[in-house]
Amino acid sequence: MSEVRILGTGAYVPQRVVSNDEAGAAAGVDDAWITAKTAIRQRRWAAPGEATSDLAAAAGRAALRSAGITAGQLSVIAVATSTPDRPQPPTAAYVQHHLGASGTAAFDVNAVCSGTVFALSAVGGVLTHRGGHALIIGADVYSRILNPADRKTVVLFGDGAGAMVVGPAGRGPLVRHVALHTFGELSGLIQVPAGGSRLPVDRAGLDAGLQYFAMDGREVRRFVVERLPQLVKGFLHEAGVGPEEIGHFIPHQANGVMLDSVVEDLALPRATMHRTLTHYGNTGAASIPITLDAAARAGAFRPGELLLLAGFGGGMAASFALVEW
């Protein structure tokens, strides 16, 4: 991709704090069980009147303030989400309207939890032709598609949005390299079975719970443990960077216990792994930009340090970005 710099970041999470005991009640699990399995202690769930576009717009406003630009200076808005407001129009159209950026190109990206880095790659090409600035937002409201009785999924997810403003020039962290992967043969591991053209929602489907998020947790873990280290190794080789040069690792916040088990195999000897899942859970496409924003606002990064962003999830997909702060 052509030169793209991160000019500002932002995030938003709903006000409602949901404890482990509350999240796991219908599934018959408690705080001790959830913490031991996931390292998640609480999460945020959207209020009844909040949709994905509302969270996305709030995060977008925060990123615009951080970048010091207005919505009128945007040439493109890309929203990474797998929980859109509606099947159509794109959630990005609602976000554009909320921000007052009429006429700006706006589109959605659905690569599930890898989506924000996919969107980052996509807007690089748009900026080459249109110039200006891009607003990239990862936003998901998973609480609306969770089966409250499924302990494998209901305890993992929170709602939230994270955003970044990027531009082709000026000062700011440089996106040095991006890589995207999809393994469609594993697409059945994470899915919402009903609601699309393959299986529209009907009464029988609702009775069977096919409108809910479903995941084969064991096989997803196998994918992450077996494939992520090799994909990271290949990505760093492509980027011409040694693993010892990575100062910060910002992964998708899938499951804290799983991240702890895989980070040693990644062999990033000097990298600090950043986590927000303890308080926010797995926020889908929002998890990387939320975590990036939290670390940036805490002053965790020094000029010249290298950050590795790593997304993985449904598709199955994996995405990586190397950022020089």
Helix (H) or strand (E) holding 270: none
* Any domain includes 114: yes
pLDDT at 2: 64
Residues 97 and 180 reside in one and the same domain: no
| Domain C-terminal end among 170, 198, 221 | 170
Residues of the domain holding 106:
4-170
Residues 249 and 226 reside in one and the same domain: yes
Please state, in angstroms and rounded to a whole number, the distance separating the CA atoms of residues 299 and 172.
Answer: 14
pLDDT at 3: 79
Contact 76, 105 (CB under 8 A): yes
Q: Within a 10 A sphere around the Cβ of 94, how many other Cβ atoms?
A: 21
Give average pLDDT by consecutive 10-residue segment, the chain, 325 residues: 86 98 96 96 97 98 96 96 96 98 94 96 80 94 96 96 89 92 96 92 89 93 93 96 96 95 91 97 98 97 97 95 96
Please state, in angstroms and rounded to a whole number, the distance separating the CA atoms of residues 249 and 292.
Answer: 10
Query: Scanning the structure block, which residue is given the tokens 């993985």?
Result: 312
* Any domain includes 17: yes
Contact 42, 246 (CB under 8 A): no
pLDDT at 1: 56
Quick check: helix, strand or coil at residue 99?
Answer: helix
CB-based burial, 116-129: b 16+ in 10 Å, e otherwise: bbbbbbbbbebbee
Residues 90 and 15 reside in one and the same domain: yes
Residues 134 and 183 reside in one and the same domain: no
Residues 94 and 195 reside in one and the same domain: no
Residues 261 and 140 reside in one and the same domain: no
Of 20, 110, 113, 133, which is the active-site residue?
A: 113
Q: Within a 10 A sphere around the Cβ of 268, how many other Cβ atoms?
A: 21
147 given a catalytic annotation: no
pLDDT at 171: 79
20 given a catalytic annotation: no
Number of domains the chain is built from: 2
Please state, in angstroms and rounded to a whole number, the distance separating the CA atoms of residues 3 and 112.
Answer: 25
CATH number assigned to the domain comprising residue 261 = 3.40.47.10
Residues 22 and 138 reside in one and the same domain: yes
Of 20, 110, 255, 282, which is the active-site residue?
A: 282
* Any domain includes 283: no
113 given a catalytic annotation: yes
pLDDT at 127: 80
Of 177, 248, 252, 274, which is the active-site residue?
A: 252
* Any domain includes 147: yes
Residues 55 and 155 reside in one and the same domain: yes
| Domain C-terminal end among 155, 170, 185 | 170
Contact 224, 311 (CB under 8 A): no
